[in-house]
Amino acid sequence: MRAYIPAYDLRVPGSLSEALALIGREPGVWQPFAGGTDLMVLLEAGKLPHKKFLSLTKLADFRGIECTADAVLLGALTTYTEIQAHPILQAEFPLLCTAARETGSIATQNRGTLGGNVVNASPAADSPPALLVYDADVELVSERGLRWLPYHGFHTGYKKMQIAPNELLRAIRLPRRAQQWKQYYRKVGTRKAQAISKVCFAGAARMENGTVRDIRVALGSVAPIVLRAVKTEAAIRGNRITPDNIAAAKGVLAREIAPIDDIRSTARYRLRVAQNLLQEFLMLLSR
């Protein structure tokens, strides 16, 4: 059953001030969207409950990729295709480029946006694990001004975020690291492409004389939110990669994640795969 289009109201503001004024007057009434790739699926299925939408597509303030000596700033409307094509992202943030390449079809990559992937707040999203590993920050803007928040902690529960009804996500900031980190990304799904992940894993670590000096581990599809595995990181940090330490880290990860049975997979399978991906990542560090 398809949706009845005249039942929906769409506004397309031409400026940021116009958009902020609208959601400021009626917070929670107008649902912002960017590429709309997830909304269109629900619309076609007749399962899109919200009726009033605010398109951000004409907001120039939300576009572009800016690079400084310290960070890369990605506008919320940056598409997956633009991420893959950017030379600095390719060189320094390959996990994000891989996530963008494995998100949906080419058509989805051309239209889908990084900001939309974040605020859609799916625990199975492909790019958020990479953003957590890269210690990303998010910029929220309203009529009161702007504020920056660490992306780690931005999601507080299933489809819940630290964003007010009168705020928009304008940009994502990635700090540039001076040291070389070994990086790893893996998405496990039913197919090689156009599949929602059963487990998504991103990891990065800085090694020194065979010891893990610093590490980031993040996973999708194993908890109500995309998860930064801080307890697992703590179990690995400062240690060498040995069979005993790998086994211990897998045990910590098993207690830190909370996979479920659903239409795509089982909790048991997700747990085993998450542990295997952690082991694969740690073995990479030992080479």
The rounded distance, in Å, linking the Cα atoms of 263 and 123 is 15
Q: Inform me whether the pLDDT recorded for 182 exceeds 70.
A: yes
Q: What is the pLDDT of residue 194?
A: 77
Can you tell me the mean pLDDT for 155-181? Answer: 95
Of all residues in the chain, what percent carry a pLDDT higher than 90?
85
Tokens 């917070």 sit at which residue?
27
Same domain, 169 and 83: yes
105 against 257, higher pLDDT: 257
Q: What is the pLDDT of residue 259?
A: 96
Tokens representing 254?
Answer: 């098993």
Task: Give the confidence band of 1 by pLDDT, cuts at 50, 70, 90.
Answer: low
Q: What is the pLDDT of residue 6?
A: 84
Q: Which domain holds residue 194?
A: 182-285
CATH number of the domain to which 255 belongs: 3.30.390.50
For residue range 196-210, what is the model confidence (pLDDT) as tens digits?
Answer: 899 999 999 999 999
Where among 125, 149, 175 does a domain terminate? 175
Q: What is the pLDDT of residue 238?
A: 98
Asked if residue 200 lies in contact with residue 130, where contact means CB atoms within 8 angstroms, the answer is: no
Q: How many domains, in total, are found in the chain?
A: 3
Can you tell me the mean pLDDT for 113-121? Answer: 95
226 against 195, higher pLDDT: 226
CATH number of the domain to which 118 belongs: 3.30.465.10
Question: What's the gap between Cα 3 and its chain centre?
Answer: 29
**108-to-14, 125, 132, 150, 202 alpha-carbon distances in Å:** 24, 13, 22, 27, 22
Where among 156, 175, 194 does a domain terminate? 175
Same domain, 222 and 120: no
Q: What is the pLDDT of residue 179?
A: 85
Q: What is the pLDDT of residue 282?
A: 98
Where among 135, 157, 175 does a domain terminate? 175
**Average pLDDT over the chain, rounded to whole?**
95
Q: Report helix, strand or coil for 235.
A: helix
Q: What is the pLDDT of residue 44?
A: 79
For residue range 26-47, what is the model confidence (pLDDT) as tens digits?
Answer: 999 999 999 988 888 888 788 8
